[in-house]
Amino acid sequence: MMRMLVLGHGYTAGFLTALLTAEGWQVTGTTRGDPERLRAAGAVPLLWHSDSGAIREAIAKADAILASAGPDGGRDPALADFTPDLARAKPRWLGYLSTTGVYGDRDGGWVDESSELTPSTRRGRERVVAEQAWQALAAKHDLPLHIFRLAGIYGPGRGPFAKLRAGTARRIVKPGQIFSRIHAADIAQVLLASIRAPRPGAIYNVCDDAPSPPEDVIAHAAELLGLPLPPAEDYATAEMTPMARSFYAESKRVSNALIKRELGVRLIYPDYRAGLADLIGTEA
């Protein structure tokens, strides 16, 4: 039996767990929250702090390790707590989930995996630091690291429909603003394809084919529901939290050519229209 350990088993990891367990893998995941959520997803849960000994044992036995926990207060939690154990590990595959935020703002222009990292937000800068720390660990201890830079994640329970039905969805308009997105099921199939065909040192952008203005997504979702279009709000004057406003600080189009060319990935949801059509069928 092959063993996968997910350090930080959250929303996205649940989709990968389903694919792996269907192929006979045993998946163990760490959590700081409810272990029943992991059991429901098919993973063996370990609590981050109280089960630290078991986590160290799982690291030593893992055939594959996925680091999914993001930086917390400027520190990468997996590296902060388990660097010595990871340094001794012998997985066939090691993955780190990063973000396309490492590329920063490109005024709507295209980026690929070779583009310079110029983050313009604190979150993006922390991710660059984390990527570099994982790369340094991998280089020093010959670990088969793969980095996945994820676009904006959506999927069941993370679509716009609930807010539209509740009348709380907002259509913020910032001229020229472009986002890339990815359905969680497509993230999972990219990870599985990489696990099947490892290339240590690889970096992959994980996004769909259709970078689009965020207001277009809300408008299409409203149309699918047969609800009125939320009024347009000018980004410059709209009342928003600093966190919400920061998501509009970057505009870029992210290329996914490498996951198709190298991993043979054929996206299940190549654009937000396909993704929303599926979600409305499951969330109706």
d(CA 195, CA 72) in angstroms, rounded, equals 27
Does 187 fall in a domain? yes
d(CA 191, CA 209) in angstroms, rounded, equals 18
pLDDT tens per residue, range 264-274: 999 999 999 99
Amino acid identity, position 205: N
d(CA 270, CA 283) in angstroms, rounded, equals 20
- Burial profile 215-250: b = 16 or more Cβ within 10 angstroms, e = fewer: bebbbbbbebbeeeebeebebeebeeeeeeebbbeb
- Per the structure, how many domains does the chain have? 1
Residue with tokens 């009342």: 239
Average pLDDT over residues 2-17: 97
CATH of the domain at 141: 3.40.50.720
Does 47 fall in a domain? yes
pLDDT tens per residue, range 194-224: 999 999 999 999 999 999 999 999 999 999 9
pTM of the complete model: 0.96
Does 163 fall in a domain? no
The SS3 call for residue 182 is: strand
Does 174 fall in a domain? no
Please report which confidence band the pLDDT of residue 284 belongs to, taking 50, 70 and 90 as the band edges.
low
- CB contact at 8 A, 72 and 152: no
Q: Is the predicted pLDDT of residue 158 greater than 60, yes or no?
A: yes
Does 20 fall in a domain? yes
pLDDT tens per residue, range 83-140: 999 999 999 999 999 999 999 999 999 999 999 999 999 999 999 999 999 999 999 9
Count how many Cα atoms sit within 13 Å of the Cα of residue 120 in the half-sphere of its side chain: 13
* Enclosing domain of residue 47: 3-154+182-208+252-269
